[in-house]
Amino acid sequence: MAQPSGKSAGKSFFGRFGVHLAVLFFVLLWTLPTIGILVTSLRDKDQIVGSGWWTSFASSTQTSATRLAPPSAQVEKDGKFVIEGNLFETPGTSAVSAFGTRSAQPTEFKAGDVADLKDGVTLQVNEDGSYVYSSPVAFDGNNGRRVYFAATVPPKFTHENYRTVLFSEGIGRSFLNSLTVTIPATIIPIMIAAFAAYALAWMRFPGRALLIAVIIGLLVVPLQMALIPLLELYNGVGNLFGVPSKTYLGIWLAHTGFGLPFAIYLLRSYMAGLPRELMESARIDGASDFEIFVKIVLPLSFPVLASFAIFQFLWVWNDLLVAMVFLGSGNDQLVLTGRLNALLGSRGGDWEILTTSAFITIIVPLIVFFSLQRYFVRGLLAGSVKGG
């Protein structure tokens, strides 16, 4: 059978439908985990542990426990002792579907039924939460009876989690620390790398080829190699000058060092591709290398400078290892990733804290990513040799 053109080869109706379905499947697989934490971070704390986040847009059923009013509230009615009241603090928002008096069977009776609790004691719980608890003999004791009930709760969203996390879990402070680390650690390597890249691309000097080879080799050096010697070096310098060894300056320089090979590699290959005539005519006009660099090469290199800036920003912002080693773990220095890692240890099951914190740590990279995606992709395509 003849096909219309190359790209649409083998496309029956079902084939095309299958492609849409397959892509949809992948998209869901890749976005659902993130959507999960976003939705969870906006949910009520009790609802998070009660039901899956995917049910949060529908009313959910929660089983909870409460106490009836204490015996002091009883009144005598028709020879029986009766306690009346409502299970809900604010009746009207939820509906009871079932109740029970034993934790093993929290939903033993249907709402509205009169439960027989032996010796003539009965309990009736209605859908709206009102109850009638009656007994032939007077109730005694101080506490009200414990009852369990399943209630249908309407979806409830809140920004309470964000307030808690930002102001009492130290995330707000860490956010600032992360910015303090990231901005200089993005700008400094760009400047140093740009000059070096120009020299490697357009200036003649002995040892150039060797230098390029070394830098390409350094692209793949694992960060782990640098930790122990640099830590010793920092401690030594710290002792010598009587300054703390874990400083912001230290981490800026460390990120500069680790980002430099990739920066030089990326910028050099771009600058080397600029038209030779441009440089030569400028040189004939008497421009020095410095002038050519500042007035011609730098403006032309803007796209690749931007893509490196995004890389470096994301890399530094998302880094955990370098910050753990070269920056203290005190409140005034802990960065977002470090804080999140600490929270995972200390607040293990508190998903309202964890999901909210996680969302705050990823929101900046996501904004950067969405607004500057074009440059990010360009950088990826230009520098796909480097391993992150």
Nearest to 101 by CA among 56, 69, 129, 68: 68
3-state DSSP of the chain: CCCCCCCCCCCCHHHHHHHHHHHHHHHHHHHHHHHHHHHHHCECHHHHHHCCHHHCCCCEEEEEEEECCCHHHCEEECCEEEEEEECCCCCCCCEEEEEECECCECCCEECCCEEECCCCCEEEECCCCEEEEEECCCCCCCCCCEEEEEEEECCCECCHHHHHHHHHCCHHHHHHHHHHHHHHHHHHHHHHHHHHHHHHHHCCCCCHHHHHHHHHHHCCCCCHHHHHHHHHHHHHHHHHHCCCCCCHHHHHHHHHHHHHHHHHHHHHHHHHCCCHHHHHHHHHCCCCHHHHHHHHHHHHCHHHHHHHHHHHHHHHHHCCHHHHHHCCCCCCCCCHHHHHHHHHHHCCCCHHHHHHHHHHHHHHHHHHHHHHHHHHHHHHHHCCCCCC
Least Cβ distance, residue 232 to other proteins (angstroms): 7
Least Cβ distance, residue 110 to other proteins (angstroms): 20
Least Cβ distance, residue 48 to other proteins (angstroms): 7
| Interaction between residue 64 and other proteins (CB under 8 A) | no
- Nearer residue to other proteins within complex by CB, 117 or 187: 187
- Nearer residue to other proteins within complex by CB, 22 or 65: 22
- Nearer residue to other proteins within complex by CB, 73 or 227: 227
Least Cβ distance, residue 169 to other proteins (angstroms): 14
Burial label, 92 (beta-carbon count in 10 A; 0-12, 13-18, 19+):
exposed
Cα angle value 169/38/361 (rounded, 5°): 45
Residues 343-372 that bind other proteins (CB under 8 A): 344, 351, 354-355, 357-358, 361-362, 365-366, 368-370
Longest CA–CA separation in the chain, Å:
115
- Nearer residue to other proteins within complex by CB, 144 or 261: 261
- Nearer residue to other proteins within complex by CB, 138 or 191: 191
Selected range binding other proteins among 43-51, 70-78, 81-89, 124-132, rule: CB under 8 A: 43-51
Residues 124-143 that bind other proteins (CB under 8 A): none
Least Cβ distance, residue 262 to other proteins (angstroms): 11
- Nearer residue to other proteins within complex by CB, 26 or 77: 26
- The Cα 136–Cα 345 span in angstroms is 53
| Interaction between residue 37 and other proteins (CB under 8 A) | yes
Q: Binding residue for other proteins (CB under 8 A) from 193, 305, 309, 334?
A: 193
Least Cβ distance, residue 301 to other proteins (angstroms): 14
Q: How many residues does the chain have?
A: 388
Q: Binding residue for other proteins (CB under 8 A) from 137, 138, 213, 278?
A: 213
Least Cβ distance, residue 312 to other proteins (angstroms): 13
| Interaction between residue 237 and other proteins (CB under 8 A) | no
Residues 245-264 that bind other proteins (CB under 8 A): 248-249, 252-254, 256-258, 260-261, 264
- Nearer residue to other proteins within complex by CB, 68 or 98: 98
Q: Binding residue for other proteins (CB under 8 A) from 92, 141, 222, 330?
A: 222
- The Cα 301–Cα 305 span in angstroms is 6
Residues 268-307 that bind other proteins (CB under 8 A): 272, 286, 288-290, 293
Task: Report residue 175 as tokens.
Answer: 């956010």
| Interaction between residue 153 and other proteins (CB under 8 A) | no
Least Cβ distance, residue 3 to other proteins (angstroms): 5
Q: Binding residue for other proteins (CB under 8 A) from 192, 274, 287, 300?
A: 192
Least Cβ distance, residue 176 to other proteins (angstroms): 6
Per rule CB under 8 A, count of chain residues that contact other proteins: 125
| Interaction between residue 381 and other proteins (CB under 8 A) | yes
